[in-house]
Amino acid sequence: MKEFLRSNYLLLIFSFEILAAITGLLFYKKYKHMAAKYFIYFLFYLFICELLCTYTLFINNDGFLKFLKGTIFEKNYWLSTITWSIGSILFFSYYYYKIIVSTTYKVIIKYSGIFFLIISVAQIIINFQDYFNRFFPLINVLGAIVVLICTILYFVEILQSETILKFYKSINFYISCAILIWWLIMTPLVFYDIYFNKTDWNFVILKWQIYLFANFFMYTTFTIGLIVSKPEKQIKLSKK
């Protein structure tokens, strides 16, 4: 198992991501008049960001980026933090602001996102050197809280509407379930990043296994949701 993960880890991660992105592209016409089109764009954004983060593979063993050896860019924490830990949370804040109807809920989501951004930027500025050497637990925890707020408000809203009768036909339901569970699984691991190094391969393999399972669940849920869901207008029309 260890050798298999070492050899195929990135291939598996990219497979999950590109499957969801391509599915979104194939079904884009169905969602082009919905906020879900932005989610499809986001899937490609995630794939590109994950691809960019692999630049570290070309630093060692005389790779073409070997000139970055010994610099602050030798590790990809900085890129992952800005693109995933911060970027994805801001996207979901924007996305749920678009799909939620309640003005009160919109205000909560808006200011939760703004507060998260301010704290994240402040955390990076105050600990600028660490920005290139580790993840920030505070940013990840606050990000998980923002996702929790967004998804809970979404679930509360659909429970209070007739949409609950056709919840399984809404892409937003699948997105909400997937990201909520992913963040609940992955957020606690950020506190153990100190052990994520080649001197403790047991923890590295364990984290890879958890990350693979979480990603498989999340992107598979996205893929299924994109296939089986209907545009919101069709869901509403089918109630009549």
* Mean local confidence (pLDDT), 224-232: 91
Average pLDDT of the chain is 90
The DSSP result for 153-179, as a single string, is HHHHHHHTSGGGGGGGG-HHHHHHHHH
- Residue 197 pLDDT: 64
Binning pLDDT at 50, 70 and 90, where does residue 7 land? Answer: confident
Q: In b/e form, how buried is each residue of 40-63, taking b as 16+ CB within 10 angstroms?
A: bebbbbbbebbeebeebeebeeee
* pLDDT tens by residue, 49-98: 999 999 998 998 788 999 999 999 999 999 999 999 999 999 999 999 99
Q: Per this entry, what is the length of the chain? A: 240
Tokens 């499809």 identify what position?
A: 40
3-state SS class at 232: helix
Range of the domain at 208: 2-237
* pLDDT tens by residue, 99-118: 999 999 999 999 999 999 99
Name the domain count of the chain: 1
Helices assigned H by DSSP within 127-231:
137-159, 171-186, 201-228
- Residue 235 pLDDT: 52
